[in-house]
Structure 1
Protein backbone atom coordinates (compact mmCIF):
# COMPACT_ATOMS: atom_id res chain seq x y z
CA UNK A 1 0.00 0.00 0.00
CA UNK A 2 1.56 3.26 -1.08
CA UNK A 3 0.85 6.57 0.59
CA UNK A 4 1.90 10.19 0.60
CA UNK A 5 2.24 12.47 3.60
CA UNK A 6 0.99 16.02 3.27
CA UNK A 7 -0.25 18.81 5.52
CA UNK A 8 -3.94 18.42 6.31
CA UNK A 9 -6.41 20.98 5.05
CA UNK A 10 -9.92 21.96 6.11
CA UNK A 11 -11.42 19.56 3.57
CA UNK A 12 -9.87 16.66 5.50
CA UNK A 13 -11.76 17.47 8.73
CA UNK A 14 -14.62 14.99 8.30
CA UNK A 15 -12.37 12.06 7.46
CA UNK A 16 -9.88 12.87 10.24
CA UNK A 17 -12.71 13.17 12.77
CA UNK A 18 -14.13 9.82 11.68
CA UNK A 19 -10.76 8.10 11.93
CA UNK A 20 -10.08 9.39 15.45
CA UNK A 21 -13.55 8.81 16.89
CA UNK A 22 -13.44 5.27 15.50
CA UNK A 23 -10.64 4.55 17.99
CA UNK A 24 -12.47 6.02 21.02
CA UNK A 25 -13.00 2.62 22.66
CA UNK A 26 -9.21 2.31 22.99
CA UNK A 27 -8.65 5.49 24.96
CA UNK A 28 -11.85 6.04 26.94
CA UNK A 29 -12.87 4.40 30.18
CA UNK A 30 -15.35 1.55 29.75
CA UNK A 31 -18.10 2.59 30.06
CA UNK A 32 -17.27 6.22 29.29
CA UNK A 33 -18.30 8.56 32.11
CA UNK A 34 -20.53 11.58 31.37
CA UNK A 35 -17.54 13.94 31.40
CA UNK A 36 -16.14 12.11 28.34
CA UNK A 37 -18.75 13.99 26.28
CA UNK A 38 -16.68 17.16 26.71
CA UNK A 39 -13.66 15.42 25.21
CA UNK A 40 -15.65 13.75 22.41
CA UNK A 41 -16.97 17.18 21.40
CA UNK A 42 -13.36 18.14 20.57
CA UNK A 43 -13.31 15.41 17.93
CA UNK A 44 -16.18 16.66 15.76
CA UNK A 45 -15.40 17.71 12.19
CA UNK A 46 -15.98 21.36 13.15
CA UNK A 47 -13.59 21.18 16.13
CA UNK A 48 -11.04 19.34 13.99
CA UNK A 49 -11.29 22.06 11.33
CA UNK A 50 -10.72 24.75 14.00
CA UNK A 51 -7.49 23.04 15.07
CA UNK A 52 -6.29 22.54 11.50
CA UNK A 53 -6.76 26.28 10.93
CA UNK A 54 -5.11 27.29 14.23
CA UNK A 55 -1.50 28.44 14.17
CA UNK A 56 -0.71 26.43 17.31
CA UNK A 57 -1.45 23.07 15.59
CA UNK A 58 0.18 21.23 12.73
CA UNK A 59 -1.70 18.34 11.14
CA UNK A 60 -0.27 15.90 8.61
CA UNK A 61 -2.08 13.05 6.94
CA UNK A 62 -0.95 9.89 5.21
CA UNK A 63 -3.12 9.51 2.15
CA UNK A 64 -3.51 6.47 -0.04
CA UNK A 65 -5.66 5.63 -3.05
CA UNK A 66 -8.69 5.06 -0.82
CA UNK A 67 -8.39 8.13 1.39
CA UNK A 68 -6.76 9.06 4.67
CA UNK A 69 -4.79 6.19 6.19
CA UNK A 70 -3.40 8.07 9.17
CA UNK A 71 -3.13 11.43 10.88
CA UNK A 72 -0.74 13.14 13.25
CA UNK A 73 -1.14 16.48 14.99
CA UNK A 74 1.35 18.48 17.02
CA UNK A 75 0.26 21.25 19.37
CA UNK A 76 2.70 24.07 20.10
CA UNK A 77 5.38 22.15 18.18
CA UNK A 78 6.10 19.63 20.94
CA UNK A 79 2.87 18.01 22.20
CA UNK A 80 1.96 15.03 20.06
CA UNK A 81 -1.77 15.67 20.17
CA UNK A 82 -3.06 12.93 17.83
CA UNK A 83 -1.54 9.95 16.04
CA UNK A 84 -3.98 7.49 14.53
CA UNK A 85 -3.71 5.00 11.68
CA UNK A 86 -6.61 3.21 10.06
CA UNK A 87 -6.67 -0.36 11.41
CA UNK A 88 -6.52 -1.88 7.92
CA UNK A 89 -3.27 0.04 7.33
CA UNK A 90 -1.41 -1.04 10.49
CA UNK A 91 2.06 -2.52 10.14
CA UNK A 92 3.01 -0.55 7.03
CA UNK A 93 5.16 2.16 8.59
CA UNK A 94 2.50 4.86 8.37
CA UNK A 95 2.67 5.92 12.03
CA UNK A 96 6.47 6.08 11.93
CA UNK A 97 6.43 8.06 8.66
CA UNK A 98 3.93 10.54 10.11
CA UNK A 99 5.99 10.85 13.30
CA UNK A 100 9.25 11.40 11.41
CA UNK A 101 7.67 14.08 9.20
CA UNK A 102 6.05 15.95 12.09
CA UNK A 103 9.17 15.66 14.23
CA UNK A 104 11.49 16.89 11.47
CA UNK A 105 9.33 19.93 10.71
CA UNK A 106 8.60 20.85 14.34
CA UNK A 107 11.85 22.57 15.21
CA UNK A 108 11.78 20.80 18.58
CA UNK A 109 13.91 18.03 20.03
CA UNK A 110 11.65 17.30 23.02
CA UNK A 111 8.09 15.99 22.75
CA UNK A 112 5.34 14.76 25.04
CA UNK A 113 2.32 12.57 24.45
CA UNK A 114 -0.52 11.28 26.58
CA UNK A 115 -0.56 7.76 25.17
CA UNK A 116 -3.53 5.45 25.22
CA UNK A 117 -2.62 2.16 26.88
CA UNK A 118 -2.62 0.12 23.63
CA UNK A 119 -0.36 2.69 21.90
CA UNK A 120 2.42 2.61 24.51
CA UNK A 121 4.54 0.03 22.59
CA UNK A 122 4.35 2.16 19.43
CA UNK A 123 5.58 5.25 21.24
CA UNK A 124 8.30 3.24 22.99
CA UNK A 125 9.56 2.12 19.57
CA UNK A 126 9.72 5.80 18.60
CA UNK A 127 11.88 6.50 21.69
CA UNK A 128 9.28 7.81 24.13
CA UNK A 129 9.53 6.84 27.80
CA UNK A 130 6.75 6.83 30.38
CA UNK A 131 6.98 9.68 32.87
CA UNK A 132 4.28 8.33 35.18
CA UNK A 133 1.78 5.52 35.51
CA UNK A 134 -1.71 5.43 33.99
CA UNK A 135 -3.83 8.54 34.55
CA UNK A 136 -7.50 9.25 33.98
CA UNK A 137 -9.04 12.61 33.11
CA UNK A 138 -12.45 13.35 31.57
CA UNK A 139 -12.90 9.67 30.86
CA UNK A 140 -9.56 9.36 29.06
CA UNK A 141 -7.09 6.75 30.25
CA UNK A 142 -3.50 7.55 29.28
CA UNK A 143 0.16 7.38 30.24
CA UNK A 144 2.21 10.60 30.00
CA UNK A 145 5.31 9.93 27.92
CA UNK A 146 8.28 12.02 26.82
CA UNK A 147 10.73 11.94 23.92
CA UNK A 148 14.07 13.71 24.03
CA UNK A 149 16.26 13.63 20.95
CA UNK A 150 19.91 12.96 21.76
CA UNK A 151 22.07 15.59 20.15
Structure 2
Protein backbone atom coordinates (compact mmCIF):
# COMPACT_ATOMS: atom_id res chain seq x y z
CA UNK A 1 0.00 0.00 0.00
CA UNK A 2 1.41 3.34 -1.05
CA UNK A 3 0.54 6.33 1.12
CA UNK A 4 0.84 9.94 0.00
CA UNK A 5 0.80 13.01 2.20
CA UNK A 6 -0.78 16.17 0.86
CA UNK A 7 -2.27 19.40 2.22
CA UNK A 8 -5.73 18.93 3.68
CA UNK A 9 -8.67 20.55 1.90
CA UNK A 10 -12.17 21.41 3.03
CA UNK A 11 -13.59 18.31 1.30
CA UNK A 12 -11.47 16.18 3.68
CA UNK A 13 -13.37 17.44 6.75
CA UNK A 14 -15.89 14.57 7.04
CA UNK A 15 -13.19 11.90 6.78
CA UNK A 16 -10.92 13.75 9.23
CA UNK A 17 -13.80 14.15 11.69
CA UNK A 18 -14.66 10.46 11.36
CA UNK A 19 -11.06 9.41 11.97
CA UNK A 20 -10.60 11.56 15.07
CA UNK A 21 -13.97 10.72 16.62
CA UNK A 22 -13.47 7.04 15.78
CA UNK A 23 -10.28 7.06 17.83
CA UNK A 24 -11.83 8.85 20.82
CA UNK A 25 -11.71 5.71 22.97
CA UNK A 26 -7.93 6.23 23.06
CA UNK A 27 -8.14 9.73 24.54
CA UNK A 28 -11.51 10.18 26.29
CA UNK A 29 -12.23 8.13 29.41
CA UNK A 30 -15.98 8.84 29.58
CA UNK A 31 -17.39 9.83 26.20
CA UNK A 32 -20.87 10.28 27.68
CA UNK A 33 -19.79 13.04 30.08
CA UNK A 34 -20.94 16.59 29.26
CA UNK A 35 -17.32 17.80 28.98
CA UNK A 36 -16.53 15.01 26.53
CA UNK A 37 -19.63 15.84 24.49
CA UNK A 38 -18.57 19.49 24.33
CA UNK A 39 -15.09 18.45 23.21
CA UNK A 40 -16.39 15.99 20.61
CA UNK A 41 -18.54 18.78 19.13
CA UNK A 42 -15.28 20.57 18.25
CA UNK A 43 -14.44 17.56 16.07
CA UNK A 44 -17.63 17.61 13.99
CA UNK A 45 -17.14 18.00 10.22
CA UNK A 46 -18.27 21.64 10.34
CA UNK A 47 -15.69 22.49 13.01
CA UNK A 48 -12.94 20.65 11.14
CA UNK A 49 -13.91 22.45 7.95
CA UNK A 50 -13.70 25.81 9.71
CA UNK A 51 -10.16 25.02 10.89
CA UNK A 52 -9.10 23.84 7.44
CA UNK A 53 -10.09 27.21 5.99
CA UNK A 54 -8.68 29.24 8.88
CA UNK A 55 -5.47 31.11 7.99
CA UNK A 56 -3.66 30.12 11.21
CA UNK A 57 -3.90 26.36 10.54
CA UNK A 58 -2.05 23.99 8.22
CA UNK A 59 -3.55 20.56 7.60
CA UNK A 60 -1.96 17.41 6.23
CA UNK A 61 -3.68 14.21 5.21
CA UNK A 62 -2.13 10.83 4.55
CA UNK A 63 -4.06 8.87 1.93
CA UNK A 64 -3.78 5.44 0.43
CA UNK A 65 -5.52 4.66 -2.87
CA UNK A 66 -9.00 4.91 -1.39
CA UNK A 67 -9.15 6.47 2.06
CA UNK A 68 -7.72 8.64 4.80
CA UNK A 69 -4.97 6.90 6.76
CA UNK A 70 -3.80 9.74 8.98
CA UNK A 71 -4.08 13.43 9.61
CA UNK A 72 -2.09 16.24 11.23
CA UNK A 73 -2.76 19.92 11.86
CA UNK A 74 -0.51 22.74 13.00
CA UNK A 75 -1.90 25.89 14.58
CA UNK A 76 -0.12 29.25 14.60
CA UNK A 77 2.94 27.80 12.88
CA UNK A 78 4.34 25.90 15.86
CA UNK A 79 1.62 24.07 17.82
CA UNK A 80 0.89 20.51 16.71
CA UNK A 81 -2.87 20.70 17.12
CA UNK A 82 -3.74 17.17 15.94
CA UNK A 83 -1.88 14.04 14.87
CA UNK A 84 -3.99 10.94 14.31
CA UNK A 85 -3.39 7.66 12.49
CA UNK A 86 -5.93 4.93 11.77
CA UNK A 87 -5.61 2.29 14.49
CA UNK A 88 -4.92 -0.53 12.00
CA UNK A 89 -1.86 1.45 10.87
CA UNK A 90 -0.40 2.22 14.31
CA UNK A 91 3.28 1.35 14.61
CA UNK A 92 4.01 1.57 10.88
CA UNK A 93 5.74 4.96 10.81
CA UNK A 94 2.83 7.03 9.51
CA UNK A 95 2.83 9.46 12.45
CA UNK A 96 6.56 9.96 11.89
CA UNK A 97 6.01 10.54 8.16
CA UNK A 98 3.37 13.20 8.89
CA UNK A 99 5.67 14.81 11.48
CA UNK A 100 8.63 14.86 9.08
CA UNK A 101 6.45 16.53 6.44
CA UNK A 102 5.53 19.22 8.95
CA UNK A 103 9.17 19.74 9.89
CA UNK A 104 10.12 20.04 6.22
CA UNK A 105 7.34 22.52 5.47
CA UNK A 106 8.09 24.62 8.57
CA UNK A 107 11.86 24.40 8.46
CA UNK A 108 12.37 27.82 10.04
CA UNK A 109 10.48 26.91 13.21
CA UNK A 110 12.82 25.86 16.02
CA UNK A 111 10.29 24.87 18.71
CA UNK A 112 6.95 23.09 18.51
CA UNK A 113 4.43 22.32 21.24
CA UNK A 114 1.71 19.71 21.58
CA UNK A 115 -0.89 18.76 24.17
CA UNK A 116 -0.58 15.00 23.96
CA UNK A 117 -3.28 12.62 25.07
CA UNK A 118 -2.00 10.26 27.76
CA UNK A 119 -2.18 7.40 25.25
CA UNK A 120 0.02 9.22 22.70
CA UNK A 121 2.83 10.37 25.02
CA UNK A 122 5.14 7.48 24.00
CA UNK A 123 4.58 8.30 20.32
CA UNK A 124 5.50 11.94 20.82
CA UNK A 125 8.54 10.95 22.88
CA UNK A 126 9.74 8.80 19.97
CA UNK A 127 9.29 11.84 17.72
CA UNK A 128 11.55 13.89 20.02
CA UNK A 129 9.03 15.71 22.20
CA UNK A 130 9.60 16.02 25.96
CA UNK A 131 7.05 16.69 28.66
CA UNK A 132 7.08 20.25 29.97
CA UNK A 133 4.46 19.82 32.71
CA UNK A 134 2.68 17.18 34.75
CA UNK A 135 -0.33 15.47 33.17
CA UNK A 136 -3.54 17.52 33.27
CA UNK A 137 -5.96 14.78 34.28
CA UNK A 138 -8.89 17.07 35.10
CA UNK A 139 -9.13 18.20 31.48
CA UNK A 140 -11.19 16.48 28.79
CA UNK A 141 -9.32 14.97 27.23
CA UNK A 142 -6.54 14.54 29.79
CA UNK A 143 -3.23 15.69 28.32
CA UNK A 144 0.48 16.29 28.82
CA UNK A 145 2.04 19.51 27.53
CA UNK A 146 5.14 18.63 25.50
CA UNK A 147 7.69 20.49 23.41
CA UNK A 148 10.04 19.65 20.55
CA UNK A 149 13.19 21.63 19.79
CA UNK A 150 15.13 21.07 16.58
CA UNK A 151 18.55 19.66 17.18
CA UNK A 152 17.72 18.37 20.66
| TM, length-normalised to structure 1 | 0.93
Q: Does 1:141 align with 2:142?
A: yes
* Shift, 1:138, TM fit: 4.6
Structure 1's consecutive aligned runs of 4 or more residues displaced over 4 angstroms after TM superposition are none
Q: Does 1:98 align with 2:98?
A: yes
* Shift, 1:103, TM fit: 1.9
Match of 1:51 in 2: 51
Give the alignment of 1:61-140 within 5 angstroms: 61-106=61-106, 107-136=108-137, 138-140=139-141
Q: The residue matched to 2:18 in structure 1 has which SS?
A: helix
Determine the C-alpha separation between the residues in 1 that align with 2:59 and 2:48.
10
Bigger mean CA offset, 121-130 vs 34-43? 34-43
Unaligned runs of 5+ in 1: none
Q: Does 1:12 align with 2:49?
A: no
User: What is the Cα-based RMSD across aligned positions, in Å?
Assistant: 1.5
Kindly provide the CA deviation profile for residues 103-143 of structure 1, in whole angstroms up to 9, marking residues without a partner as x. 22123110111111111111001110011121035521111
Kindly provide the CA deviation profile for residues 52-75 of structure 1, in whole angstroms up to 9, marking residues without a partner as x. 001100000110013110000000
Determine the C-alpha separation between the residues in 2 that align with 1:50 and 1:74.
14
| TM, length-normalised to structure 2 | 0.93
Q: The residue matched to 2:81 in structure 1 has which SS?
A: strand
When residues 56 and 150 of structure 1 are mapped into structure 2, their CA distance, relative to the original with a 3 A threshold, is: same
Q: The residue matched to 1:66 in structure 2 has which SS?
A: coil
CA contact (8 A) 1:134 1:144 kept: yes
Q: The residue matched to 1:139 in structure 2 has which SS?
A: coil
